[in-house]
Amino acid sequence: MRLTIIAILVSLTIISCSTGGDGGDPYEATPSPLVIPQLFQDKLIDPVIPADNPQTVEGIALGRKLFFDPILSGDGTQSCSTCHNPENAFTDPRQFSVGIDGSIGTRNSMPIFNVAWNFNELFFWDGRATSVEDQAFGPVVNPVEMKNTWPNAVASLQADSEYPDLFLAAFGTSTIDSTMVTKAIAQFERTLISANSKFDKYTRGEVELTPSELNGLNVFLDEGRGDCFHCHGNPNSPLWTDNIFHNNGLDASFTDRGRGMVTGDPREFGQFKSPSLRNLAYTAPYMHDGRFATLEEVINHYSEGLVYSETIDPLMKTVSAGGVHLTEQDKADLKAFLLSLSDPSFISNPDFQDPN
Amino acid sequence: MKKIALFAMIAMVAMSCNNDDDNSSTPVNVDFLFTHNWDGSAIENSDFEVIQYTNAHGEELSLSKLVYLISDITFTNANGDVYDAGDYNLVNVREETNLMFTPNIQVPPGDYTVSFTFGFDDEDNIDGVYQDLNSADGGWNVPMMLGGGYHYMRMEGKFIDNTAAEVGYAYHAIRAADASTTPITLQDTSFEVNLGTVTIANNTEIEVKMNVAEWYDNPHEWDLNILHTVLMPNFDAQVMMSENGATVFSKGAVTQN
């Protein structure tokens, strides 16, 4: 017992020493905790925010400026927003994005929203990035995208008339490095929250769905028809994705091995991350290679276009007949339901537009 | 630095003192280790996606996913005292997550009958209320049109059907639901697993073994050719899964470290 008291005393001493001891608190920008939509608060676990990159007013503002600023690219012509346009729920309406030197990528850009609720924290179609911060290192130096080097990008920011002060305000130092750049961008990206679609309003009891949308929801949830919910969420899991990798039967053989290229595991060849079905109204074309221009094509794929390959997901049914062959009515209703997941207030949110 | 070392030493001394004082009657936590086998051969991550098992009916099959929910681990002693934390655990065999689970309850050392529920019984199977389950695996939920609540198990893979084709299967266990009646007919198909008597002491770990082959046998020899998909809305299939489940789990090693 006496020993315990001594231990407590000693530890108290240590704690008080370390707070007062080394002269001056570390710089802290103005906290700006994520505003979590009530729906997510009710249904989901907390968003992922790394302890070493808390949301701050200054960090978010800096990240937003960087996201829309072509200064990060090799020749000053391309920003993140070139391929992640707010109007398109932060993706690119082109099938393949074009880099600064005209190179064309092989994958469709991805929308950016609700990234803090990607609990697995695997980003890109193949999950090769392991956090929002980590992801942001990639595009700046990707030869088919912004084709810069980090030392060069950092030097451009350092030489700029505004950025050193903005980094000082956000991180307490005007000596810029790539880690701070990615942290600021990640803070901005975490604010890109979409939770106000027609369907969200329906869940909140504010609006009714049409009979067609309601039947579409049933098709989506019916294991014998759409059975989409085992990968793309459900009304109680309103992210509308599992953020897991699957082969949804697009091809008999793969030109792009997807997840399998990252892990080297042949069991994962041809798997890609299930995208969220929010905001489909703005995110065409669809799939990792943007092969489908319309939702009709997507629905036809699942209904009768499935193709067998060794890693195809077991949930893809009646593959030998191309799928379960939905009726035309069910297809139209499924489409109507999918569109009810789009959120106009997300793409028009003034906080998400170009500040420059 | 020296201070921290001193503190650590004192703290260690203090803790070991505590342990010596009261080791025999202080309530303790109990750890559960979930292991999986096919008729005795251990199932590891590398066993997934390999067509290597043959079920009682004779179909060759693979596993691609095996995730299941257990709840209400309960300790009952000879006096009839019942200790039940009322919590739950979602085991993901392929991803090897939550293979170890410690219910949030402490029990006085002694002999107990240990049991748990496979899935959620009706009392716990409340639609949408568990945020961690809503967030797991893209939503562990059962659609409202099937009565809502949560999956008990998702077992998926491929099998060779009677035309020699490789076909996907989705053996999903939920509360049995017949949506063709008004109102919907629901039957609680979760079931209690009794592991028998275990002596609980400080640091007891109980292995719970799942023999996956038993899902396909005893009392119902499962024919995947007929029952491989759309099993969630199939009331009779759910009842059969529940009955087959009775022989799936058993107590493995009990260790006291």
Express each pLDDT in B205-248 by its tens digit.
Answer: 999 999 999 999 999 999 999 999 999 999 999 999 999 999 99
Please report the ipTM that was assigned to this predicted complex: 0.91
Shortest alpha-carbon distance between residue A13 and chain B (Å): 9
Whether the Cβ atoms of residue B113 and residue B73 lie closer than 8 Å to each other: no
| Confidence at residue B25, expressed as pLDDT on a 0 to 100 scale | 82
A267/B48 touch (CB, cutoff 8 Å), yes or no: yes
Residue with structure tokens 């992922």? A48
Q: How far apart are the first and last CA of chain A?
A: 64
What is the CA angle B103-B106-B108, rounded to 5? 140
Establish if B227 belongs to a structural domain: yes
Question: pTM of this prediction?
Answer: 0.92
Q: Which residues 129-188 in chain A show a CB within 8 A of chain B?
A: none
Pair type for strands B100-101 and B30-38: antiparallel
User: Per the residue annotation, which of A28, A58, A87, A145 is the catalytic one?
Assistant: A145
Burial class for B16, CB neighbours closer than 10 Å (0-12, 13-18, 19+): exposed
How large is the angle between the packed helices A328-339 and A211-221, nearest 10 degrees?
Answer: 100
List B residues 145-164 in contact with A (Cβ-Cβ < 8 A). Answer: 145, 154, 156-158
Pairing mode, if any, of strands B153-160 and B191-200?
unpaired
A128 close contact with B: CB closer than 8 A: no
Residues 316-355 of A with CB under 8 A from B: 316-317, 319-320
Q: What is the number of domains present in chain B? A: 1
Cα separations in angstroms, A256 against A92, A124, A260, B189 = 20, 13, 9, 43
Q: What is the pLDDT of residue A138?
A: 95
Q: Extract the residue ranges of chain B whose pLDDT is less than 50.
A: 1-22
Nearest to A7 by CA among B25, B106, B198, B15: B15
DSSP 8-state symbol, B81: -
What pLDDT score was predicted for residue B257? 77
Q: Can the peptide bond before residue B183 be classed as cis, meaning omega within 30 degrees of 0? A: yes
Q: For B63, name the nearest residue in chain A, comparing CA atoms only.
A: A314
User: Tokens 């798997």 correspond to what residue?
Assistant: A271
Of A117, A221, A320, the CB nearest to B143: A221
- Provide the token pair at A102: 């005209």
Find the domain containing B158 and state its range. Answer: 26-256
* Interchain CB distance below 8 Å, B7 and A320: no
Q: Which three-class secondary structure state does DSSP give residue B239? A: helix
Phi/psi zone of residue B53: left (φ > 0), alpha (ψ -120 to 50 degrees), beta? beta
What local confidence, expressed as pLDDT, does residue A70 receive?
Answer: 97
Which residue, chain included where needed, has tokens 């391309």?
A: A78
Write out the DSSP string of B106-160: -B-SEEEEEEEEES--TTT--TT--HHHHHGGG--B--GGGT-SB-SEEEEEEEE
Residue with tokens 């679609």: A197
Of A6, A223, A233, nearest to B232 by CB-CB distance is: A223
Contact assessment for residue A139 and residue A84, using Cβ atoms and an 8 Å cutoff = no
Task: Please say if A133 is a catalytic residue.
Answer: no
Q: Which chain A residues touch B7 with a CB distance below 8 Å?
A: 7, 10-11, 14
Strands (E) located in A192-252? 245-246
Q: Tell me how far the alpha carbon of residue A9 is from its chain's centroid.
A: 47
Q: Any residues with CB less than 8 A from the CB of A204 and at least 6 apart, and which? A: A38, A39
Q: And the tokens for A148?
A: 């810069």
Polymer length of chain B = 257
Q: Tell me the shortest Cα–Cα distance from A320 to chain B, in angstroms.
A: 9
Q: Which of residues 30-49 of A touch B (CB under 8 A)?
A: 42-45
Segment holding A86, helix H or strand E: none
Q: How far is CA B213 from CA B42, B51, B156, B189, B191, in A?
A: 12, 14, 13, 19, 18
**Contact criterion met (CB < 8 Å) for B134 and A119:** no
Q: Which DSSP helix (H) or strand (E) runs through B206?
A: strand B204-211
Q: Is B178 helix (H, G, I), strand (E, B) or coil?
A: strand
Q: Can you tell me whether residue B63 is helix, strand or coil?
A: coil
Q: Does A221 touch chain B (CB under 8 A)?
A: yes
Record the tokens describing residue A295, joined without a space.
Answer: 């939702």
Per-residue pLDDT of chain A (356 residues; tens, 9 = 90+): 344 444 444 444 344 434 334 445 678 899 999 999 999 999 999 999 999 999 999 999 999 999 999 999 999 999 999 999 999 999 999 999 999 999 999 999 999 999 999 999 999 999 999 999 999 999 999 999 999 999 999 999 999 999 999 999 999 999 999 999 999 999 999 999 999 999 999 999 999 999 999 999 999 999 999 999 999 999 999 999 999 999 999 999 999 999 999 999 999 999 999 999 999 999 999 999 999 999 999 999 999 999 999 999 999 999 999 999 999 999 999 999 999 999 999 999 999 999 98
Burial of residue B70 (number of CB atoms within 10 Å: 0-12, 13-18, 19+): buried
CB B228 within 8 A of CB B167: yes
Within chain A, what is the greatest distance between any pair of CA atoms?
A: 79
List chain A residues with CB under 8 Å of B65.
314
Residue B9 maps to a domain: no
CA A57 – CA A187 distance, rounded (Å): 9
Domains of chain A: 2-194 (1.10.760.10), 198-340 (1.10.760.10)
Amino acid at A104: I
Nearest to B158 among A234, A241, A314 (CB): A314
Parallel, antiparallel, or unpaired: how do β-strands B166-173 and B176-178 relate? unpaired
With CA atoms as reference, report the closest residue to B196 among B118, B115, B253.
B115
Calculate the CA A94 to chain-centre distance. 18
Residue B16 lies in a domain: no
Q: Which two tokens stand for residue B139?
A: 């939503």
CA distance A150 to A137: 8
Asked if residue B10 is part of any domain, the answer here is no
Query: Could you say which of B13, B145, B157 has the minimum Cβ distance to residue A3?
Result: B13
A10 CB within 8 Å of a chain B CB: yes
Cβ neighbors of A211 (< 8 A, separation 6 or more) are none
In chain B, how long is the greatest CA-to-CA distance? 74
Contact B156 A315 (CB under 8 A): yes
Check residue A284 and give its pLDDT: 98
Cα distances (angstroms) measured from residue A122 to each of A126, A244, B93? 8, 9, 20
* Residues 112-131 of chain B whose Cβ lies under 8 A from any Cβ of chain A: 127-128, 131
Residue B161 lies in a domain: yes
